[in-house]
Amino acid sequence: MPDARAPRHIALAGADNFRDLGGYRAGSGAVAWGRLYRSGHLGRLTSEDVARVARLGLRTVCDLRSPSERADQASRLPPPPPTVIELPVDVPALDPGRVRRQLLGGGFPAGAIAATVRDSYRAYVTDFAAPFAGVLRTVADRGRLPALIHCNGGKDRTGFAAMLVLLALGVPRETIVEDYLLTNHCTRWSTRRRAWLVYLASRLKVRPGEMRGLLEARVPYLEAAFAAMVAGYGSVEAYLRDALGVTDELRTRLRAALLE
């Protein structure tokens, strides 16, 4: 199991954004290492990757992908496989197949990609309380840990879910933003490569700078989510309580399960 001296990023050949959420301070405690992880999809793990993930001892996987995403990239899970809880967060505007067709057809005008991602973060708040509440209830159960939260790229839906868990635990917002932006460090080489591949495949219509708006974690995306929470519920705390059911009892269970 990772400890405080271990790197947060778990290097895998087939997944470049697999991270441990341990070590973050939350009041008088800290998130325990080796209990909660975040990543992108696990469909391209090598045999060596699967063996390394097996050593984490995962009991539960919260899969935020849509049914079509799961069919397109079936997870490679170590034996005995952890329990997979399907909690789909399916934002049509960011469906991978649809986005791929728009990109290759040059269907995104300048600035539209980043605007679409911002809109998706607002939709997480307004339209997808049920799956994100499911994540919180799952990781509050000590018997389901260690657990992994993942989506397709491990950036947006996973980043939002990780943010909610850390908020509920009392991790400072500045630290949460730092964890969110760590995606950019973990995926910097794949982001550069994918941006240029799309630039060429789109016949130079989608410039790398535009494509990075889809591939990078950016603070304005999180800010759009926070603004939607305040607009809809009056405050972030009220959103956690009224939309996601983060009662005092659930918060106590989360802290007991995840803090040390």
Query: Is 62 considered catalytic here?
Result: no
Pairing of strands 147-150, 36-39: parallel
Of 21, 58, 91, 151, the catalytic one is 151
- The Cα–Cα gap between 46 and 253 comes to 35
Residue entry with tokens 């990757």: 49
Query: Which ranges constitute the DSSP H helices of the chain?
Result: 47-54, 67-72, 96-104, 112-127, 129-139, 157-169, 173-186, 188-201, 208-215, 219-233, 236-238, 248-258
Residue 157 CA from chain centroid, whole number: 5
Name beta bridge partners: 183.
none
Residues near 63 by Cβ (< 8 Å), separated by ≥ 6?
70, 75, 84, 85, 86, 87, 88, 150, 151
Catalytic residues: 151
